[in-house]
C-alpha cells in the first residue's frame, strides 16, 4: 500500500514538473524570440517558420535605428515620469485609504467599500470618453498630467492593502496606543514597516500597468514629443506595420528590460503578498 502511494506521489511530482517546464517554455519563448530579433541583421530570418532562436548575422545596428526613426529616449523618459509618479501617488493614497477601511469605524464604511470594489468591474474603455471631457474641461489634455491624474487612486490597490492590514495582529496597534502613539504614528511606524511585501507588490503592479498602458496616452496626448513608450513602439512599427522587424524588436527589447529587472528582483514579494492578503477576508 505504501509503495503504491509512493509511486503515485512520485508520478504526481513528475507530472507537475513537466507541466511547469512546458509552461515556462511557453512563457519565455516569445521573450527569447524578441531579443533574438533585436540582434538580427536580416528581417528575413524573423519570418521563418518554424521560428528560430539563433541569429545568423548578429548586429547592434537595430538599436541605433530605433533612436533614428522616433524620439525613443524621450518616450522612455515620459514613461518613467508617468509610471513613477503614479506609482508613488498610489502607494500613498491606497495605503491610507486601505488602513481606514481596515481599522477605522465610520458611518457608511461598508457601502463606500462596496462602491470601491464595484468600480473594479468597470473597464477603462467605458470611462475613457467622460474622462477625456473632464481633462479637456480643466485644460490638462495633451500633457503628462492627463495620464497621471486618472491613476492617482486604485480600487485594486485599496483592496489588496486592506486585506493585508486586516491580517496584521491588532494587538500590535493596541500596544502602541497604550504607549501613547497616535493613529498616524502607529500607521507609519508599525503597520507600514510590517507591510513591505504588499506595498512592494502594489508598486510593481502599478508601475508595470502604467508602463505598458497604450489607450490613455493615445486618447489624451496629441503631440508626438509628449507620448509614452507604448505609443512610441506603435509609431516605430510604421503605418500598416511596415517597419523593420529587427528595429521593432530592438525597441521592444529595450522597453522590456526595466520591467523585467524589477520583476526578477522582487518576484518573492508578490508571492508573499498574495499569500498574506488571503488570510482574512
The model's pLDDT over 149-207, given as tens digits with 9 standing for 90+, comes to 999 989 999 999 998 888 888 888 888 888 888 888 888 888 888 888 888 888 888 99
Task: For residues 166 and 162, give the distance between their C-alpha atoms in angstroms, rounded to a whole number.
Answer: 6
Task: For residues 241 and 131, give the distance between their C-alpha atoms in angstroms, rounded to a whole number.
Answer: 29
Q: For 9-30, give one letter per residue: b (16+ CB within 10 A) or e.
A: eeeeeeeeeeeeeeeeeeeeee
Is the pTM higher than 0.85? The answer reads no
226's grid cell: 509628449
CB-based contacts of 88: which residues, under 8 Å, 6+ apart? Answer: none
Indicate the SS3 state at residue 105: coil
Which stretches in the chain have pLDDT values below 70? 1-5, 55, 239-243, 269-281
* Pair 275, 198: CB distance under 8 Å: no
Residues found in the chain: 281
Task: For residues 16 and 98, give the distance between their C-alpha atoms in angstroms, rounded to a whole number.
Answer: 37
Q: For 98-113, give one letter per residue: b (16+ CB within 10 A) or e.
A: bbbbbbeeeeeeeeeb
The pLDDT, as a whole number, for residue 61 is: 83
The pLDDT, as a whole number, for residue 64 is: 84
Query: For residue 131, what are the β-bridge partners?
Result: none
The pLDDT, as a whole number, for residue 176 is: 84
Is residue 50 reached through a cis peptide bond, with omega within 30 degrees of 0 on the bond before it?
Answer: yes
Task: For residues 195 and 168, give the distance between their C-alpha atoms in angstroms, rounded to a whole number.
Answer: 9
List the one residue out of 164, 44, 147, 38 whose CA is nearest residue 94.
164
* Pair 208, 266: CB distance under 8 Å: no
CATH number of 65-277: 1.10.3720.10
Amino acid at each position: 500500500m505504501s509503495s503504491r502511494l509512493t509511486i503515485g506521489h512520485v508520478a504526481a511530482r513528475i507530472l507537475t514538473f513537466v507541466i511547469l517546464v512546458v509552461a515556462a517554455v511557453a512563457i519565455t519563448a516569445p521573450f527569447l524570440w524578441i531579443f533574438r530579433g533585436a540582434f538580427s541583421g536580416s528581417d528575413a530570418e524573423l519570418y521563418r517558420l518554424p521560428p528560430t532562436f539563433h541569429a545568423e548575422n548578429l548586429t547592434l545596428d537595430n538599436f541605433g535605428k530605433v533612436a533614428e526613426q522616433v524620439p525613443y529616449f524621450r518616450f522612455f523618459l515620459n514613461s518613467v515620469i508617468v509610471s513613477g509618479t503614479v506609482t508613488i501617488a498610489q502607494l500613498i493614497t491606497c495605503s491610507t485609504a486601505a488602513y481606514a477601511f481596515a481599522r477605522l469605524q465610520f458611518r457608511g464604511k461598508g457601502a463606500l467599500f462596496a462602491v470601491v470594489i464595484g468600480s473594479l468591474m468597470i473597464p477603462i474603455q467605458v470611462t475613457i470618453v467622460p474622462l477625456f471631457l473632464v481633462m479637456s474641461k480643466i485644460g490638462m489634455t495633451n500633457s503628462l498630467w492627463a495620464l497621471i491624474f486618472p491613476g492617482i487612486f486604485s480600487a485594486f490597490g485599496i483592496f489588496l492593502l486592506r486585506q493585508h492590514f486586516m491580517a496584521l495582529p491588532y494587538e500590535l496597534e493596541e500596544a502602541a496606543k497604550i504607549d501613547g502613539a497616535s493613529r498616524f504614528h502607529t500607521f507609519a511606524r508599525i503597520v507600514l514597516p510590517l507591510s513591505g511585501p504588499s506595498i512592494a507588490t502594489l508598486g510593481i503592479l502599478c508601475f508595470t500597468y502604467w508602463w505598458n498602458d497604450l489607450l490613455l496616452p493615445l486618447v489624451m496626448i496629441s503631440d508626438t514629443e509628449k507620448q509614452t513608450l507604448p505609443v512610441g513602439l506603435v509609431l516605430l512599427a510604421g503605418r500598416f506595420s511596415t517597419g523593420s522587424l529587427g528595429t521593432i524588436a530592438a525597441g521592444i527589447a529595450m522597453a522590456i528590460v526595466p520591467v523585467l529587472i524589477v520583476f526578477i528582483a522582487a518576484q518573492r514579494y508578490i508571492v508573499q503578498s498574495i499569500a498574506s492578503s488571503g488570510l482574512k477576508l
